Structure 1
Amino acid sequence: MKVQEVAANIDTAALLPGAQFADAFRLEIESKTLDARHAAQRMMGRSPRWIETLLSLRNLLVAPFGLKTSGASEKPPREMIGIFPILRETPERLVAGFNDKHLDFRVVIDVATSGSSQQVTATTLVLTHNWFGRIYLAIIRPFHRVIVPAMLRQVAS
C-alpha cells in the first residue's frame, strides 16, 4: 500500500485556529469496515522500534526545557491512543493532540469509504507560540515527513 502526500483539506480554523503548519498523508485500503478510532489505533497505538528510539531521544532532549514528553498533563487523564490524548471523535474522524507552551499540535485521522475501499488520511496541524516552537517545528519536520507515512502504513496491516 502506497502512502501519498495530499493537500490538507480540512477546516483548520475549527480544529486548531491560527495553525501555521498543516500537512496530510493518505492511504487507500481494501476495506469497508474501518472507523477512525480503529485506524488511529492501528496507526498510533504501536510504533516501529526505530520510531520509538527517535521519540525516546526527542524526550531526552526536550525534557530540560520543560516540554511535555507525551500527552500527559496536570488535568485528569483523557482517553489516549498511543501518547496522544483524544480530543474529539466521530466514526469518520478522530482528533488527538495536546497544547504545550511552545506549540499546540493536532493529528486528525479521517476515514472515507469509496466503493470497496477506504481512504485513511492523517492530517497534522501545528500552531507555534514562540521562537522555540518555530525552531522545534523546523527541526522535527524532516523526521515528521518520514514518521507519519511509516505509521500510516500500519493501518493496512
Structure 2
Amino acid sequence: MMKPHMPHPALPGADWADCYELQVPKSDLTAIVAAHSMLSRFPLWVRLLLRLRDAATGPFGLRSTRSHQADGLERIGFFPVVSQSDDQVVLGFDDKHLDFRVVIDVREDAQGRRLVDATTLVRRKILLGRIYIALIAPFHRLIVATMLADFGKRMRAVN
C-alpha cells in the first residue's frame, strides 16, 4: 500500500517521496533484519536494470551502485547506512544531482500486528535530478512493490 508523501526528518527538504506499508506476522523482526532481508537479494531483472542504470548515468558523472561499495561504509545491499536502530534504518547517499534516502521502519499497530514501512525520500538538486527521478520513478515503484511482496511471502512462510 502506498501512503501519501509527508515531511520526514531523514531528509529535510525532500521534494519527492513515496512510502509503502506491509503487514507481516507478529515476530521479533527489527528494522535492520527487515532491511537486510529486503535489500540484499535483488531479482535478476532488478540487477539487470541497475547495471543499465549504472551504464547510462556514468557519462553524466553520477555515482554507480559499485562506487558505493568502494567507499568503505557499512551498507545493506549496496546502500550506505546513514543510521540504524531496532525500529528504523536509514540508508542513502548524496550525489551532485540529488540526495536520496531509503527508510525502513518496523512498528506495531494498535492491534499488535507488525508493520513494515519502506519510505523513499529524494531532494532533487538540479534539473538532472528532476529528469532522473521522472525517468526511474515507474521502475522504482515496481521494484519496491516487488521487493516488499517477496519479503512478505518469506515472512508468512516462516510463521
Same fold (TM over 0.5): yes
Say what the alpha-carbon RMSD is for the aligned residues: 1.8
Structure 1 unaligned regions, length at least 5 = none
Identity rate of aligned residues, in percent? 41
The whole-number CA distance in structure 2 between the counterparts of 1:154 and 1:74 is 24
Aligned match of 1:121 in 105, 108, 117? Answer: 117
- Partners of 1:71 and 1:87 in 2: how far apart? 18
Aligned letter for 2:31?
A
Q: Secondary structure at the match of 2:12?
A: coil
Match of 1:24 in 2: 19
Deviations 1:90-138 (A, max 9, x none): 1100000000000000000000124553110100000011110110011
Q: Would you say 1:154 and 2:123 are equivalent positions?
A: no
TM-score by length of 1: 0.89
Cα distance change on mapping 1:74 and 1:83 into 2, 3 Å: closer
Deviation of the 1:76 alpha carbon: 4.9
Residues in 2 aligned to 1:73 and 1:144: alpha-carbon distance in whole angstroms: 19
Question: What's 1:89 paired with?
Answer: 84
- Residues 26 and 71 (structure 1), Cα distance of their counterparts in 2 relative to 1, 3 Å cut: farther
- Judged with a 3 Å threshold, the aligned counterparts in structure 2 of structure 1 residues 126 and 71 are, in CA distance, closer, same or farther, namely farther
SS of the residue 2:36 aligns to? helix
